Structure 1
């Protein structure tokens, strides 16, 4: 079902699409292709909205935390806000301590997407990004399809460009498996299926080294409370006031691999994320705190949710040893991420 969610300052209308499948429901906005809600039953059958967000368009426009949106053309950081492709240097907008982050000044998260197709449990959104928008080369067409099954929320990305370019898309939803309004997530259980992570400088930009998690507080291979090491003095945690790093997902590159697993300690809602992307950026909402009223009139606190960003490695274009994020002219950009929900196995 499609209904109005408000109007942009220039008068363009934004829509909300409600999806239903079995006991699950979700809402997606045409602004930023945002996941506005994802409602699932807990162990007692009570419905929990496990995605953070807002009740009105104005707050989505004004906020700077990327709640629920699709980030692009290139997510995460690009060092020195520049890259070279086919011998040409491209200068990007600096919005992160001299680097470029999350698509630049007006990335995909701030665009109105077109509705390409809609059904009871699925919606496909389309965005056209013209040549040299935010100084990225090529006319890029991107489609993102959200499909709600009885056990999951699936995101499928497809696109093509008429010039060689770089593309690295993710969804930036924040999750709280006790319900979006439930506050600190330190007691949630987490495991990440990764033997390695990307070391960064103190500006959260990868320095090109791929480091074993073994013997570090970033070893999340066994299920454990998020809070176990979130306040560690380890520089890769301390610099970000919590977790904010890219882990290198185990498995064959391009396969549909398990990235992570999380469990709400009281709700017993279990979330497993699978993706074709090579990396997952876990961000534990270290700077989420705000006086801005969110959904249901609540205010969010620091570490009130976690982003699980399935993505290509950050700054990959500037590190030849990272999996490539170059999309060749005429080739297809194709990625998939799926959030599976389970209750029975957690009881």
Structure 2
């Protein structure tokens, strides 16, 4: 068996200084992580013939992740997804956040965790794993959020699995919801809508015209949101008879993953019939946001100069429910001092 490796490599310049990436390898799998945004820049996985291919969208240079934001593989935070009106109340005090998505707050604002340069605190490998840990300190009042938050993101590459372990602690009551925002294209051909998706979710959260959950937990049975059995994502994504697909311009909705939040449990399976690649996603978060790249419009060239368009990549974002701080009936996103917030994401690959 090849020995896993974790190495720093040159990856252009940032703010006029050399920028490094951390490359993890383990057998046929490799992953490249950028300290800017604790970003998954590439993930190489073999197909059924053993031919390696990069299965995530992104940029070839680090500067583009800052100047042309599209959330490709970044860590979104402090609060991934939306908070209605850019405000929430905690212990009787109202906190106001930037409104950067219509009337709402999205992914921590324009200067969220995806724009921050995280510290690399560990680069290591042992007999069967390669890993990198990145750390970020977000001071009290940063972006309008209370409490000094200390967050870490650990990427660990096994012979057939990439695991992301997010953790955070705070010195005051706050809210937290970190996730990775990778756009997956298991075929590498820009035809992600042809890939088959299975979701372990009997219900999803309908949204209003600003993409904030209405509070309803709607059964997926009999709807275009039923992925309990494998369906090509593109089969129903343009079904204008479903008002929810009209509002979201396709799929941009949170699914309530079956099982107990906090436990690592199967959430999704994504399969590309052409390449044979299969990705199995397990999560500890209560929800999984399915986003079908609805707003990729071909205006920004990505890797190899390719213009990414709608449906070129699929996001499966483990997270708290959107707008949880304003919904006491949703699983809480609160973090108190002397507690540790944690979210684990596991992407396991095979070619059956």
What is the TM-score normalised by the length of structure 1?
0.96
Matches within 5 A, 1:145-184: 145-179=154-188, 182-184=189-191
Q: What's the CA shift for 1:156?
A: 0.5
Q: What's the CA shift for 1:253?
A: 2.1
Cα 1:204–1:293 change in 2 (3 A) is: same
Quick check: 1:4 aligned with 2:6? no
1:187 matched residue in structure 2: 194
Q: Give distance in 1, aligned partners of 2:301 and 2:234.
A: 26
Q: Give distance in 2, aligned partners of 1:253 and 1:333.
A: 12
1:58 matched residue in structure 2: 63
Quick check: 1:275 aligned with 2:283? yes
Q: What's the CA shift for 1:203?
A: 1.3
Quick check: 1:232 aligned with 2:239? yes
Is the contact between residue 24 and residue 131 of structure 2 (CA under 8 Å) also seen in structure 1?
Answer: yes
Is the contact between residue 184 and residue 302 of structure 1 (CA under 8 Å) also seen in structure 2?
Answer: no
Q: Give distance in 2, aligned partners of 1:291 and 1:132.
A: 34
Which digits, 9 at most, give the CA deviation of each residue in 1:59-84, with x for residues without a partner? 21122320100000000000010000
Is the contact between residue 103 and residue 210 of structure 2 (CA under 8 Å) also seen in structure 1?
Answer: no
Matches within 5 A, 1:182-331: 182-233=189-240, 234-331=242-339
Structure 2 residues not aligned, in runs of 5+: 1-6
Quick check: 1:74 aligned with 2:83? no
Give secondary structure in 1 for the equivalent of 2:281. strand
1:41 matched residue in structure 2: 46
Give secondary structure in 2 for the equivalent of 1:324. coil
Q: What's the CA shift for 1:12?
A: 5.2
Q: What's the CA shift for 1:256?
A: 0.7
Structure 1 residues not aligned, in runs of 5+: none
Q: What's the CA shift for 1:219?
A: 0.8
Q: Give distance in 2, aligned partners of 1:206 and 1:293.
A: 32
Q: Give distance in 1, aligned partners of 2:114 and 2:49.
A: 35
Q: Give distance in 1, aligned partners of 2:81 and 2:18.
A: 28
Give secondary structure in 1 for the equivalent of 2:143. helix
Comparing 14-23 with 32-41, which one deviates more in the overlay?
A: 14-23
Give secondary structure in 2 for the equivalent of 1:232. coil
2:33 to 28, 31, 45: 28
Quick check: 1:140 aligned with 2:137? no
Give secondary structure in 2 for the equivalent of 1:261. strand
Is the contact between residue 184 and residue 301 of structure 1 (CA under 8 Å) also seen in structure 2?
Answer: no
Give secondary structure in 1 for the equivalent of 2:146. coil
1:101 matched residue in structure 2: 106
Quick check: 1:118 aligned with 2:126? no
Q: Give distance in 2, aligned partners of 1:48 and 1:7.
A: 25
Is the contact between residue 105 and residue 134 of structure 1 (CA under 8 Å) also seen in structure 2?
Answer: no
Q: Give distance in 1, aligned partners of 2:215 and 2:69.
A: 28
Q: Give distance in 2, aligned partners of 1:175 and 1:289.
A: 17
Q: Give distance in 2, aligned partners of 1:93 and 1:204.
A: 16
Q: Give distance in 2, aligned partners of 1:217 and 1:293.
A: 31
Q: What's the CA shift for 1:254?
A: 1.2
Which digits, 9 at most, give the CA deviation of each residue in 1:103-151, with x for residues without a partner? 0120000000000100141000000000000010001100110000001
Q: What's the CA shift for 1:6?
A: 3.0
What is the TM-score normalised by the length of structure 2?
0.95
Q: Give distance in 2, aligned partners of 1:114 and 1:153.
A: 20
